[in-house]
Chain A
Amino acid sequence: MSLFEGYWPAWLGAIALAVVCLGVFLGTGRFLGVAGMLSRLLRPRETERLRALESGLADAETLARAMEEAARAEFGAACDAVPALAERSDAPAARPLPAAVPRPPWIALLVFVLCVALGGLLSAALSGTLSIRWDLGPAYERLLAAGPGAWALLFLGGLLVGFGTQMAGGCTSGHGLSGCSRLQPASLLATACFFGTAVLLSLLLSGLAA
Chain B
Amino acid sequence: MAAKQCPHSSGCPLFATFQVRSFLRIWQMNYCDATFERCARYQRIIEGKEVPLSLMPNGKELPETGASKKK
Contact = CB atoms under 8 A, between A and B. Distances in A.
Let me know if chains A and B touch directly in the complex, using CB atoms closer than 8 Å: yes
A49 to B, nearest CB: 8
B20 A64 contact: yes
B64 A56 contact: yes
B16 to A, nearest CB: 6
- Name the residue in A57, A59, A78 with the highest tally of chain B Cβ atoms < 10 Å from its Cβ: A57
Contact of B29 (A74, A82, A100): A82
A58 B50 contact: no
Interface string A81-96: 0111101100110000
A83 B64 CA distance: 28
B52 A53 contact: yes
Interface residues of B, number: 34
B16 A97 contact: yes
A70 B22 CA distance: 14
B26 A71 contact: yes
Given A57-B53, A97-B17, A66 B26 contact: no
Interface in A96-112: 97-100, 102
Given A64-B20, A88-B20, A71 B27 contact: yes
A205 B30 CA distance: 56
A75 B52 contact: no
Contacts of A91: 20
Interface of A: 40, 46, 50, 53-71, 74-75, 78-79, 82-85, 87-88, 91-92, 97-100, 102
Given A58-B68, A99-B53, 11 more contacts: A53-B52, A55-B71, A57-B53, A62-B66, A65-B65, A66-B62, A66-B65, A67-B62, A68-B23, A69-B65, A79-B23
18 contacts: A50-B52, A53-B52, A54-B53, A56-B69, A56-B71, A57-B68, A61-B66, A63-B17, A66-B65, A67-B62, A69-B65, A70-B56, A70-B62, A75-B30, A79-B26, A83-B22, A87-B21, A97-B13
Interface of B: 11, 13-14, 16-18, 20-27, 29-30, 50, 52-56, 58, 60-66, 68-71
